[in-house]
Chains A and B, each alone.
Chain A
Amino acid sequence: MDFSLNNEQQMIQDSVSKFILNDYDFDTRRKILASKTGFSQENWRLFAELGWLMLPFTEEDGGLGGSMVDLMLVMEEFGKGMVVEPFLATAVMSGGLIALAGDKEQKDDYLPRIMAGELQMAFAYAEPQSRYQLNNVKCRAIENEGEFVITGQKSVVLNGHHADTLIVAARTSGATNDDNGISLFLVDANHPSVKREGYANVDGHQAADIWFDNTPTLGLLGELDNALPAMNNIIDKATLAICAEAVGAMEIAHQRTLEYAKTRKQFGRTIGSFQAIQHRLVNMFIEHQQAKSILLMAVLKMDSNNGSDAKALSAAKSRIGKAASLVGREAIQLHGAIGMTDELDVGHIFKRLTTIQFLFGSTDAHTKRFAAL
């Protein structure tokens, strides 16, 4: 048994950690959020230069490995800085789907551009009625003289507003709730039949609702009617990524709260000297540690099982969701009203820890999935 990082892994962690410390402080992030695109193109180019956009891909696909450990290391550090650049949407989810389901031509076309930071992508899967059920797809793709056209709506598509190319999950056969009959299509996001309403999410990440109206596609990605296994695989991978992000974010939330408790004075003494507060800071610490442990469990199980272990993943998402809930809320409560302000980072960490709790399936949804598997 060995939980230590090897040299390469240590280098990844150090390099992302350095970036967050030096180039992604809270004020810088604020400016990025307020910018027109809501994320930094400059950072995106930097991510490409540093090879981070290659990390989710295997060497065979031109990447740097694609292990869950690597993904965890990057995302945990990203969580500490609350990075909003669309690493998840473009590299992990969209790139991941092309790597998993694409043919050689598609891989050669898209993956180098993704890794070079030249292409923004988004994966449109959720719909107004689907909640967390990936198989629940109403959006239809109909074949017309050998070409598919897509009609329907997709909800809260991460990076959907800035994506050049979309991957759309559409129903090609069967009923809304069937596991079979879903296919993935590459779609030009700028096609006139695509209507996009972009917005920032409460956690600062960019997203869009997207409507397709007889939209032509750039091609089928993967097998016709059988996209669900690939979708499950990639959403699980993305889920692992945000679990790691949450663990990083919780570490900072706890650290900030601890620092505050040691300096904030009320009743003539630091609030950290009150036992009632001490115990709560310890509970936050325990939650963070438990979250970190179950994250490692899932990472190692997935890595030893070709990048996929649904049961382990759901265990991690469920447990980390519970921890994120407690740590986020306590960070605000122990700060008091100052924790409610937009100008302090804890409130923003709390908001990201909140959305992570239901992104890609709520805590309850993953507990249920764990029990069923």
Chain B
Amino acid sequence: MNLNFTVQEKDFQQEVQQFLQEKLPKDIAEKTKNALHLSKDECNQWQKILYKQGWAGVNWPVEHGGTGWTPTQKYIFANECAKAGGPDVIPFGLKMVAPVIYTFGNEEQKQRFLPDVLASNVWWCQGYSEPGAGSDLASVRTTAVKEGDEYVVNGTKTWTTLGQHADWIFCLVRTGEPSVKNQEAISFLLINMNDPKITVSPIITIDGRHEVNEVHFDNARVPAINLIGEEGQGWTYAKVLLTHERTGIARVAISKDRLVQLKALAQTSPDGDNKLIEDAIFAQKVAQVEIDLLALEYTELRTLSAISTGQAPGPESSILKIVGTQIIQAIDELYVEAAGYYAMPFVPHQFHDDFDGQSIGPDMATNSALRYFNNRKASIYGGSNEIQTNIISKAVLGL
């Protein structure tokens, strides 16, 4: 057992730091640090910079253009990015559909899809949840009926994050007869959204944003060659993808950086004639979250080191999802507390690049409640925390 970085790892750390200093655009870093939303162009800009560096496919196998990094390197990279304000990549292509394609896709599909995912030429979104299938994902109703060399797709997907930007959607669809048991009737289909038979309608969330969507399929015709693997095996592939999603969801590096920033904020935030950090109760709450996060960080390191490379993480990744999202939400709450009255004004327009009016309160404060509201989703998406608890209960504890 050893926690020290090797000489090579220290060199790598320096390399990452230097890269971020030279290549990470300052305006993107600034926005990321202030928890402001990036535009589609800004997301792509950053991901293409990573691609040029050869660092877009952090978890990908080397043969498909992945980094081949060790768990320690991944850990170093995530932490340095968070510190520098390097945004998370949009996960749907690079972290979600890609592992399914390189694990279960055929050669033709790998060659057709993976290069554009890696280079962020194509924006992907996720077609899993439906109005009647949220936590119970296996009960999807969207159907794909085979006609010749095409599937005819009908149904509605919902909570499709950033689907308004997407070129492609990966979907769980029912291909089996209605009598077939849910999980054996599900297939994994890649669908080009440039089709008038597919419509995207916005859903506004409680923070006033358009982040998620409904995607409707009305007799959309999809080439059968876009099916991943075999019909009826979609549920198996989806589960692999979900465990990938769950580790990413812990967001330990970002939470660490947000806590550092929160403490800096508390040192300057006035509390009457004092500073907020002098408030013993507030300081204790920050410390409590920090301690929880330390434990989570080492849980994540244990997981990373156990799975080494290539393998999908096991059901214990549910711990990362549950605790990681609890910590995200606890930090959000502390930001709201730090903001005090200035958490209240709803003034998202003043975060826009071209705003030149009178700003209300510090941005960090007026953005805090919106982020707190938005991140209530964290314990709901990616398999709600209740589902994660069930997974641990069944798959780990055997209950």
Interface 9-residue window, one of B20-28, B74-82, B311-319, B381-389: B381-389
State how many angstroms separate the Cβ of A335 from the closest Cβ of chain B: 9
One digit per residue, 1 when the CB lies within 8 angstroms of any chain A CB and 0 when it does not, for chain B 350-386 equals: 0000000010110000000110110011011100111
Assembled-state Cα–Cα distance A201/B379 (Å): 25
Q: Indicate if the CB atoms of B377 and A200 lie closer than 8 Å.
A: no
Assembled-state Cα–Cα distance A66/B140 (Å): 57
* Closest chain A residue, CB of each to CB of B373: A351
Residues of A with C-beta under 8 A to B337? 358, 362, 364
Interface 9-residue window, one of B239-247, B266-274, B299-307: B266-274
State how many angstroms separate the Cβ of A84 from the closest Cβ of chain B: 13
Q: Indicate if the CB atoms of A199 and B346 lie closer than 8 Å.
A: yes
State how many angstroms separate the Cβ of A337 from the closest Cβ of chain B: 5
One digit per residue, 1 when the CB lies within 8 angstroms of any chain B CB and 0 when it does not, for chain A 128-144 equals: 11111101100000000
Q: Indicate if the CB atoms of A132 and B340 lie closer than 8 Å.
A: yes
Given contacts A128-B361, A337-B377, A364-B281, contact A358 B340 (CB under 8 A): yes
Given contacts A155-B341, A202-B344, A342-B205, contact A354 B369 (CB under 8 A): yes
Q: Indicate if the CB atoms of B134 and A342 lie closer than 8 Å.
A: no
User: Is A249 an interface position by the 8 A CB rule?
Assistant: no
Query: Which of B281, B344, B347, B358 lies in contact with A368, CB distance below 8 A?
Result: B281
Residues of B with C-beta under 8 A to A200? 346
Most buried by B among A133, A197, A336: A336
* Closest chain B residue, CB of each to CB of A343: B204
Residues of A with C-beta under 8 A to B158? 337
Assembled-state Cα–Cα distance A131/B270 (Å): 7
User: Is B328 an interface position by the 8 A CB rule?
Assistant: no
User: Is B139 an interface position by the 8 A CB rule?
Assistant: yes
Query: Which of B206, B270, B360, B384 lies in contact with A342, CB distance below 8 A?
Result: B206
Most buried by A among B206, B337, B342, B385: B206
Given contacts A177-B272, A201-B346, A336-B135, contact A354 B372 (CB under 8 A): yes
State how many angstroms separate the Cβ of A16 from the closest Cβ of chain B: 25
Residues of B with C-beta under 8 A to A130? 270, 272
Most buried by A among B129, B344, B361, B373: B344
Given contacts A177-B273, A276-B386, contact A341 B204 (CB under 8 A): yes
One digit per residue, 1 when the CB lies within 8 angstroms of any chain B CB and 0 when it does not, for chain A 99-129 equals: 0000000000000000000000000001011
* Closest chain B residue, CB of each to CB of A334: B386
Query: Which of B270, B276, B347, B381 lies in contact with A337, CB distance below 8 A?
Result: B381
Query: Which of A197, A207, A348 lies in contact with B344, CB distance below 8 A?
Result: A207
Given contacts A336-B384, A340-B206, contact A201 B273 (CB under 8 A): no
Most buried by A among B276, B379, B380: B380
Q: Indicate if the CB atoms of B345 and A201 lie closer than 8 Å.
A: yes
Q: Indicate if the CB atoms of A340 and B376 lie closer than 8 Å.
A: yes
Q: Indicate if the CB atoms of A197 and B205 lie closer than 8 Å.
A: no
Residues of B with C-beta under 8 A to A233? none
Interface residues of B in 189-224 (CB under 8 A from A): 203-206, 208, 212
Assembled-state Cα–Cα distance A340/B134 (Å): 13
Q: Indicate if the CB atoms of B360 and A197 lie closer than 8 Å.
A: yes
State how many angstroms separate the Cβ of A175 from the closest Cβ of chain B: 8
Q: Indicate if the CB atoms of A333 and B379 lie closer than 8 Å.
A: yes
Residues of B with C-beta under 8 A to A277? 386
Q: Indicate if the CB atoms of B282 and A364 lie closer than 8 Å.
A: yes
Query: Which of A209, A341, A358, A368 lies in contact with B203, CB distance below 8 A?
Result: A341
Q: Indicate if the CB atoms of B342 and A155 lie closer than 8 Å.
A: yes
User: Is B343 an interface position by the 8 A CB rule?
Assistant: yes
* Closest chain A residue, CB of each to CB of B368: A202
User: Is A355 an interface position by the 8 A CB rule?
Assistant: yes
User: Is B336 an interface position by the 8 A CB rule?
Assistant: yes
* Closest chain B residue, CB of each to CB of A176: B273
Residues of A with C-beta under 8 A to B206? 340-342, 347-348, 350-351
Residues of B with C-beta under 8 A to A351? 206, 369, 373
Assembled-state Cα–Cα distance A333/B346 (Å): 23
Query: Which of B281, B373, B380, B389 lies in contact with A336, CB distance below 8 A?
Result: B380
Residues of A with C-beta under 8 A to B279? 364
User: Is B136 an interface position by the 8 A CB rule?
Assistant: yes
User: Is A266 an interface position by the 8 A CB rule?
Assistant: yes
Q: Indicate if the CB atoms of B136 and A131 lie closer than 8 Å.
A: no
Residues of A with C-beta under 8 A to B124? none
State how many angstroms separate the Cβ of A358 from the closest Cβ of chain B: 6
Assembled-state Cα–Cα distance A325/B151 (Å): 47
Q: Indicate if the CB atoms of B336 and A354 lie closer than 8 Å.
A: yes
Residues of B with C-beta under 8 A to A136? 272-273
Interface residues of B in 22-81 (CB under 8 A from A): none
User: Is A322 an interface position by the 8 A CB rule?
Assistant: no
User: Is A329 an interface position by the 8 A CB rule?
Assistant: yes
Residues of B with C-beta under 8 A to A199? 345-347, 360
User: Is B123 an interface position by the 8 A CB rule?
Assistant: no
Residues of A with C-beta under 8 A to B347? 199
Assembled-state Cα–Cα distance A126/B376 (Å): 29
Q: Indicate if the CB atoms of B342 and A156 lie closer than 8 Å.
A: yes
State how many angstroms separate the Cβ of A336 from the closest Cβ of chain B: 5
Assembled-state Cα–Cα distance A332/B375 (Å): 11
Interface residues of A in 142-182 (CB under 8 A from B): 155-156, 176-177
Q: Indicate if the CB atoms of B345 and A129 lie closer than 8 Å.
A: no
Q: Indicate if the CB atoms of A342 and B346 lie closer than 8 Å.
A: no
Q: Indicate if the CB atoms of B134 and A266 lie closer than 8 Å.
A: yes
User: Is A203 an interface position by the 8 A CB rule?
Assistant: yes
Closest 6 CB pairs of A and B: A129-B270, A347-B206, A266-B136, A136-B272, A342-B204, A133-B272
20 A–B contacts, CB within 8 A, in A order: A126-B341, A131-B272, A131-B340, A133-B271, A176-B272, A199-B346, A199-B347, A202-B369, A202-B373, A266-B139, A271-B135, A333-B376, A339-B376, A341-B204, A342-B208, A350-B376, A354-B336, A354-B372, A358-B336, A364-B282
Given contacts A277-B386, A333-B380, 10 further A-B contacts (CB under 8 A): A130-B270, A130-B272, A131-B341, A155-B341, A199-B345, A202-B370, A266-B139, A337-B129, A337-B212, A340-B206
